[in-house]
């Protein structure tokens, strides 16, 4: 078991109707944290890469609200690639996980539910520094 094993795809509730589907997320119930901030990535140009950082204390749930993209998680020991393409799946990312995001489809929208407000001092933007602090 390495830290990356705490990061999982969460199957979110889905109310399916002929009129369309509805999915909801409740902090502390469907995700193991209270939700303090929501942000989203959109209009990502083809071939662009996002991420390239880790968080010291932030917990996140990442959802492909529309379209698809890939997320590679790395805990310094192992790496896992996830393909997100459904709005009823969320990828839970715990603290101290380096992530890279690529392979965005056109029109992709990436929703992120986060456990805290934006704080640049919570980021590792240097991979070597991240690796150093893991030890
Ligand atoms: P970053 O977290 O690096 O984005 P990504 O992981 O998608 O590549 O953030 C990109 C820029 O946006 C960076 O300059 C910080 C800023 N930002 C905010 O000002 N507030 C926020 O809530 C977030 C997530 C980012």
Task: Quick: pLDDT tens for 1-31.
Answer: 888 999 999 999 999 999 999 999 999 999 9
Give mean pLDDT, residues 54-71: 98
Checking 11-18 for CB contacts under 8 A at 24+ apart, the result is 11/88, 11/89, 12/63, 12/88, 12/89, 12/90, 13/88, 14/88
Give mean pLDDT, residues 44-53: 97
Looking at the structure, give the CATH architecture of the domain made up of residues 3-134: Sandwich (2.60)
What's the pTM value of the predicted model, to 2 decimals? 0.97
pLDDT for residue 81:
98
Write the CA distances from 132 to 41, 86, 124, 126, integer angstroms: 29, 35, 11, 10
**Which sequence spans correspond to the domains of the chain?**
3-134
Give mean pLDDT, residues 82-108: 98
Indicate which residue's Cα is closest to atom 5 of ligand 1: 51
Specify whether the CB–CB gap between 8 and 59 falls below 8 A: no
Q: Two tokens at 42?
A: 């959109």
Longest dimension (CA), the chain: 52
From 36, 37, 39, give the residue whose CB has the most ligand 1 atoms within 8 Å, as the site to mutate. Answer: 39
pLDDT for residue 87:
98
Q: Two tokens at 64?
A: 């492909």
Given the DSSP bridges, would you call strands 69-74 and 79-84 parallel, antiparallel or unpaired?
A: antiparallel
pLDDT for residue 115:
98
Confidence of residue 72 (pLDDT cuts 50, 70, 90): very high
From 35, 49, 50, 98, give the residue whose CB has the most ligand 1 atoms within 8 Å, as the site to mutate. Answer: 50
32 lines ligand 1 (CB under 6 A): no
Indicate which residue's Cα is closest to atom 15 of ligand 1: 120
pLDDT for residue 2:
84
Q: Is 53 among the catalytic positions?
A: yes
């Amino acid at each position: 078991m390495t830290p990356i094993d705490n990061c999982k795809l969460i199957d979110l509730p889905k109310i399916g109707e002929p009129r369309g589907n509805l999915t909801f997320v409740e902090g502390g119930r469907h995700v193991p944290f209270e939700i303090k901030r929501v942000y989203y990535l959109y209009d990502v140009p083809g071939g662009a890469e996002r991420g390239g950082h880790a968080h010291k204390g932030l917990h996140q749930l990442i959802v492909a609200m529309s379209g698809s993209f890939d997320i590679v998680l790395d805990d310094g020991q192992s790496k896992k690639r996830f393909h997100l393409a459904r709005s009823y799946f969320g990828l839970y990312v715990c603290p101290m996980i380096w992530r890279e995001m690529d392979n965005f489809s056109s029109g992709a929208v990436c929703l992120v539910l986060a456990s805290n407000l934006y704080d640049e001092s919570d980021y590792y933007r240097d991979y070597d520094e991240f690796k150093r602090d893991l030890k």
